[in-house]
Amino acid sequence: MNFTQKEKAVLQELMSGKRNSEIAESLNISVNTVRTHLSRMYAKTNTNGRMELVMRQIETEASLHHLKNTKN
């Protein structure tokens, strides 16, 4: 997926189970900025929430891992 560096950072924090306030504190950004990044990622991935976004990312990583292993 074509995420910005900040979106990737937010997603990484999200995947570790953090809430918006914890993500904001960890990345030194506002909670509103976290929400903005999440909204943009939902739009880019055609997902409707945190869990769906995380599941899509896990599926994408698994697919990339599979493709990498089948080329070797």
Distance from C-alpha of 32 to C-alpha of 22, rounded to nearest angstrom: 12
Domains of the chain, CATH where assigned: 5-71 (1.10.10.10)
**DSSP state, 29?**
-
For the chain, the residue count is 72
* Rounded mean pLDDT, 7-29: 98
Position 12, amino acid: Q
Q: What is the pLDDT at residue 64? A: 77
Model confidence at 1, pLDDT cuts 50, 70, 90, reads: confident
Q: Are 18 and 26 in contact (CB under 8 A)?
A: yes
Distance from C-alpha of 47 to C-alpha of 39, rounded to nearest angstrom: 9
Outline where 1-72 has alpha helix (H). Answer: 5-15, 20-27, 31-45, 50-71
Model confidence, pTM:
0.85
Model confidence at 68, pLDDT cuts 50, 70, 90, reads: confident
Return the percentage of the chain with pLDDT > 70, whole number.
96
Model confidence at 72, pLDDT cuts 50, 70, 90, reads: low
